[in-house]
Amino acid sequence: MKELHSINNQTLSNKDILDLVKDPSTSSDILDQLARDKENDEYNKMFIARHLKTSSKTLVYLLKYDGVEMMGAIAAHKNTSPEILELMVRSSDKLYTLYKLAQNPNTPTEALDELYEEADSEYIKLAIAQNPSTSKSTLKNLFNEDEIISIEAQKNYDYQE
């Protein structure tokens, strides 16, 4: 697909926009413009949140769309800043978002510790047990959980040694 330098003053169909946001070669600048376009629907913006080239600043902008899929995509994205991930841990009550935060290796250690303290879900605890950013003290606490969580925590702890 031909790379656009700017989409200002262009009328793109919904299909054209969807093609752009699904194209792995679309630049972060174009993705940012599409994310900020008020005419663009939230469905397309969710694909922007999942795109590998979406910048941290665009992801911050997309936080205003509080849907479960959007928050999960931002929580899982490699370009979401650690500061935003930490804020999301503290502010989210959505299981899916918390699970994605627990999986993201860029989620800060302190935020993972906090998430562990609050977690009731076995899925979240398992994701924390597998996250390479989880502190050794939290991993030790996970040794006392169900068998699979304990096994994963031990593997991660041993790997960190």
**Comparing 124 with 8, which gets the higher pLDDT?**
124
Kindly report, residue by residue over 2-55, the tens digit of the pLDDT: 444 456 546 788 888 999 999 999 999 999 999 999 988 999 999 999 999 999
Rounded mean pLDDT of 102-130? 97
End-to-end CA distance of the chain: 47
Of the CA atoms within 13 Å of residue 70, those in its CB half-sphere come to 18
| Predicted confidence band of residue 1 (pLDDT cuts 50, 70, 90) | very low
The structural domains of the chain, with segments of one domain joined by +, span 1-65, 66-161
The reported pLDDT for the residue numbered 3 is: 46
* pTM across the whole model: 0.87
Q: How many residues in the chain?
A: 161
Range 129-144 burial, b when 16+ CB lie within 10 A, else e: bbbebbbeebbebbee
Tell me the C-alpha to C-alpha distance, in Å, between residue 148 and each of 3, 52, 99, 142, 160.
Answer: 47, 31, 16, 10, 18
Range 86-101 burial, b when 16+ CB lie within 10 A, else e: bebbeebebeebbbbb
Rounded mean pLDDT of 60-65? 96
Evaluate whether 20 touches 43 at the Cβ level (below 8 Å).
no
The reported pLDDT for the residue numbered 145 is: 87
Kindly report, residue by residue over 132-151, the tens digit of the pLDDT: 999 999 999 999 888 999 99
